[in-house]
Amino acid sequence: MKILHIAGLACALWLTGCATTGPSQGSAASAAQTSPTDAPTRSTHTPVIPNGPLSPIAAAQAASGQVASLSTPADLWDRIRRGFAMPDLQHELVQDREQWYAARPDYMQRMTERSSKYLFHIVEELERRGMPTELALLPYIESAFNPQAVSSAKAAGMWQFMPATGNYFDLKQNAFRDDRRDVLASTRAALDYLQKLYNMFGDWHLALAAYNWGEGSVGRAIARNQKQGLGTSYTDLNMPAETRMYVPKLQAVKNIVANPEAFRTELPLIENHPYFQTVDITHDIDVALVAQLAGIREDDFRALNPSFNKPVILAAGTPQILLPWDNAKVFQRNLDARRDGQYASWTVWSVPATMTVAEAAQRAGMSENDLRSVNNIPPRMLIKAGSALMIPRSSAIRQDVSPHLADNGQVAFSPEIVTRRTTVRARKGETVASIARRYKLAASAVADWNDVRASAAFKVGQQVIVYLPVRQAGPARKAAASSAPSKKSASAPTRRGGTPSKVKRR
């Protein structure tokens, strides 16, 4: 037994020696390859490895303290700080912007509270793509996290997409919705764009400058500096004042988020938990009904779904909506409880021919004011054929709006032509047809206005009634043989297609 005990002890010591053997040459080589000197430049804040498989930690990394924390983030701010990965910009403009933000605590409070609805989703997307989490703070600079923001240059949404750039990144902009304001779609497009710019310039500061100023402008500025033998970093380039301040603003917000106590700032608590979840929509449904079924205010619904600009959601174009996390379950439960039937009280009508607003309203069975309000129709405009108008949905309409119309519907206008009753004198051999040709009118209209047949001829000097656009009525009078018509014939302007009988009734 004693011999067996000694043998067992010797075996254990041998195994322990194996377990503590130093690294092999291959492991040492691997550690050297992943040393901090070869890694991308990072900020002084502790980095975090985005969600994914953990990689071995090099000895040099462990010695320098740059080791990813495995503890759960205390809140979303903590999570954002751990993902900081851009080089810090050292510039006097950064200090200037820090003081500007720190001197406006109410503004910072409003911005950060507004961002609480959207930040978790943005951070999730950034980590999924392996991008620096500082980019989650970019909407503070672009729009103060207001998804309804519109710039003087017509950029829209919290990521401030111009119409053409939005189209390039497949952000739908039609009569029913503007995806530049959509939380999910605009975030996807913004991160796609930022990744594209980083791949072009290989530098996050230059990528951000291009996001604000345009990739072509940044490329030309770099080429000019290269030609003159100057540096090509962000601070070296000659750029507009707005772009010059762009990265310093982001750096200032980053510094405040990294250490709010140093700036006497208190960040509102944002839990490291999704604020919203997506809900599938299978039928066209009123916005008011969604809010009712979800148990939330309509304003709160629109804050999460700012791309909708009509009172109804078209399922063919927008098959998903966003609802607060807990309210999504309430909505689904209440929706399931409803019997199958019509969910929307609005539908879309494709206008068959160019017509006045009054004519369209009469056909739609609604007031002219309501039609103008719902479809944003400006005054003194005709609705062009093919326009997609939002109108009340009758019980007889069982089908939802088609996918083609939901994705491509637009409303187009042309100036409404104002006409004036005018008399002209017939020339020698003048007929209904020749007068119609002279003033580019329909012969049937000329015949109707003068109570004659379309084949009739006029005597020389005979007064002929025509209805001409106001800008043509003056020259017509000058061209007529006689002076201005009598007060009775020079009646008030009439709308397009007016006739004597209609004028009399008015």
SS (H, E, C) 217-269: HHHHHHHHHHHCCCCCCHHHCCCCHHHHHHHHHHHHHHHHHHCHHHHCCCCCC
Q: Answer yes or no: do 216 and 297 share one domain.
A: no
Structure tokens at 355: 């017509």
Q: Answer yes or no: do 249 and 309 share one domain.
A: no
Against a cut of 0.75, is the pTM above it? no
Q: What is the CATH number of the domain that holds 370?
A: 3.10.350
Q: Answer yes or no: do 389 and 259 share one domain.
A: no
What are the Cα distances from residue 199, in Å, to 37, 124, 134, 203, 215?
Answer: 21, 21, 17, 8, 11
Q: What angle do CA 61, 67, 68 make, to 5 degrees?
A: 145
DSSP-based three-state secondary structure for 58: coil
DSSP-based three-state secondary structure for 459: coil
Number of domains, the chain: 4
Q: Answer yes or no: do 205 and 310 share one domain.
A: no
Structural domain for 319, as ranges: 276-337
Domain end point (choices 263, 290, 322): 263
Q: Answer yes or no: do 327 and 398 share one domain.
A: no
Look at residue 258 and tell me if it is in a domain: yes
Burial class (CB in 10 A: 0-12, 13-18, 19+), 277: middle
| Sign of the CA dihedral with 373 first, then 375, 377, and 382 last | negative
Can you tell me the distance from the alpha carbon of 239 to that of 373, in angstroms, rounded to the nearest whole number? 43
Query: If you search the block for the tokens 């966003």, which residue do you land on?
Result: 322
Look at residue 241 and tell me if it is in a domain: yes
Q: Answer yes or no: do 448 and 408 share one domain.
A: no
Query: If you search the block for the tokens 């910072």, which residue do you land on?
Result: 108
Q: Answer yes or no: do 106 and 184 share one domain.
A: yes
Domain end point (choices 306, 337, 368): 337
Look at residue 55 and tell me if it is in a domain: no
Q: Answer yes or no: do 170 and 203 share one domain.
A: yes
Q: Answer yes or no: do 191 and 313 share one domain.
A: no
Q: What angle do CA 131, 135, 137 make, to 5 degrees?
A: 150
Domain end point (choices 298, 319, 337): 337
Which residue is catalytic, options 98, 134, 142, 430? 142
Q: Answer yes or no: do 149 and 198 share one domain.
A: yes
Q: Answer yes or no: do 323 and 379 share one domain.
A: no
Note down pLDDT in tens along the chain; length 506 residues: 434 344 444 444 443 343 333 333 333 333 333 332 233 333 333 333 333 333 333 333 333 344 455 688 989 999 999 999 999 999 999 999 999 999 999 999 999 999 999 999 999 999 999 999 999 999 999 999 999 999 999 999 999 999 999 999 999 999 999 999 999 999 999 999 999 999 999 999 999 999 999 999 999 999 999 999 999 999 999 999 999 999 999 999 999 999 999 999 999 999 999 999 999 999 999 999 999 999 999 999 999 999 998 999 999 999 999 999 999 999 998 888 776 677 888 899 999 999 999 999 999 989 999 999 999 999 989 999 999 999 998 877 888 999 999 999 999 999 887 788 999 999 999 999 999 999 989 999 999 999 999 999 999 999 999 998 876 555 555 555 443 444 344 444 444 444 443 433 33
Q: What is the CATH number of the domain that holds 244?
A: 1.10.530.10
Look at residue 235 and tell me if it is in a domain: yes
Q: Answer yes or no: do 244 and 366 share one domain.
A: no
For the question of residue 266 being annotated catalytic, the response is no
Look at residue 201 and tell me if it is in a domain: yes
